[in-house]
Structure 1
């Protein structure tokens, strides 16, 4: 996961170097600046990203946040990129309910595969309106900063007594608990439980990646979830979308 914004494109170049010889083993995501998301400029931006990444296609291409260029233009560009095989899917990032409504009202808008937003235990605002809206329409949520940037976005998060006690009781680390919470399965309309949140934590080394991956194997008990809910309750009203 990268974006043309990160380090002015240098992050894409680093990702491209890491994927040499193993591109097919990765699901590659990048994002376009809102001011580059026009009918033609989005295509030029995507092609520049592909060149930096050293690949001929992206698995997912996202509009980084809502901007001034009409969404109709962005959707047209995304569809042209998909038809050309340069992207497999497209989606959006940092869209709240109003923006998602506007997106879905446009031709081709319902083809958007995902909405990437900030979501972690200490920032649960999307649970009030946005997450239910997306779940009702089968749209996955991609959660960025699921560890609150190692606790920097909410400084007491990783040292909160409840978090430490629950993690210790489950025999896992606090960061693994935060990840397991973010991707916890939820009950579907038929009663089955499934995951519909994709967490994208930062990792700085192989050991870090492996520790993060173990979150997929963690089952949180009802008691653990209840304790976390009590310590970090979801808001009872709509709140502004958190963005970093």
Structure 2
């Protein structure tokens, strides 16, 4: 199973496991989490302007590189364009502001965070320009439904490298996943553990016992075996380690099918088609 996935454009493959920092407090909390993740072998860090922790993430990246004795080229860093900054000129400025807060010269991936209907095309044009100018490694989107992706396809020749969406066993995103596969868009799962809402689910508890792993590891391994990139969030060292140790066991087809059967099309986050911006 691949530990990184090649993108349809861009300078680097995306590591299949990353650290998410949604709602992680800026300062020591996020700094320590990023440092610990890099120390343990993570090479993919995912943040966003609206998380208000890019400055701490940047400090954590620099400290982590020093501790792990690695270079910036060894890491894959993602951030996202917030809704209030969408539109061509605003998006360009927002990207530069994210770089300044992070203390980086370039991001490996920059995403439109949510589809703001009347600004999708202009925002995407800005990201295209950043990519063409060599200012960003790759560009993509987040929380886009198939019809949003169709809007981009009708107005651009550059296909998003990734689409980062809510995804977990209760929300398999089967149709969207098929669309992305057909168009070469790498799927990235946020809330891959359903924000902890699945840890007592009987089927998952049973499978965890069968493979002698935690429920979290079973869920995350399920994502990887279905071809999804994951960005689980944690600030605890043992959880960061647990979420990364997924390559020394495998779920059987029968176990995968049992997890697939849990799908209820249930979200814990906003519906992209009904989100009050």
| TM-score using structure 2 length | 0.73
Contact 1:61 1:90 in 2 (8 A): yes
Offset, 1:242: 4.3
Show the 5 A alignment for 1:65-104: 65-104=114-153
Offset, 1:167: 0.5
Q: More relative contact order in 1 or in 2 (CA 8 Å, sep 6+)?
A: 2
Structure 1, unaligned runs of 5 or more: 152-156, 186-194
Aligned equivalent of 1:120, options 168, 190, 196:
168
For these two proteins, the number of residue pairs brought into alignment is 218
Q: Is the aligned partner of 1:206 residue 2:206? A: no
**Tell me, what secondary structure is at the counterpart of 1:98?**
helix
Task: Return 68-77 or 44-53, whichever deviates more.
Answer: 68-77
**Tell me, what secondary structure is at the counterpart of 1:62?**
strand
Show the 5 A alignment for 1:1-244: 1-6=46-51, 9=52, 11-20=53-62, 22=65, 23-110=72-159, 112-124=160-172, 126-127=173-174, 129-151=175-197, 157-185=198-226, 195=227, 197-230=228-261, 232-233=262-263, 242=271
Offset, 1:69: 4.1
The Cα offsets for residues 53-73 of structure 1, whole Å up to 9 and x where unpaired, read as 010100000000011443332
Offset, 1:241: 7.8
CA distance in 2, matches of 1:67, 1:214: 37
CA distance in 2, matches of 1:229, 1:20: 39
| TM-score using structure 1 length | 0.82
Structure 2, unaligned runs of 5 or more: 1-45, 66-71
Contact 1:93 1:115 in 2 (8 A): yes
* Distance verdict in 2 for CA 1:97–1:214, change over 3 Å: same
C-alpha RMSD of the superposition: 2.1
The Cα offsets for residues 42-101 of structure 1, whole Å up to 9 and x where unpaired, read as 111011100100101000000000114433322221122223332111000111111111
Runs of 4+ in 1 over 6 A off after TM superposition: none
Contact 2:124 2:152 in 1 (8 A): no
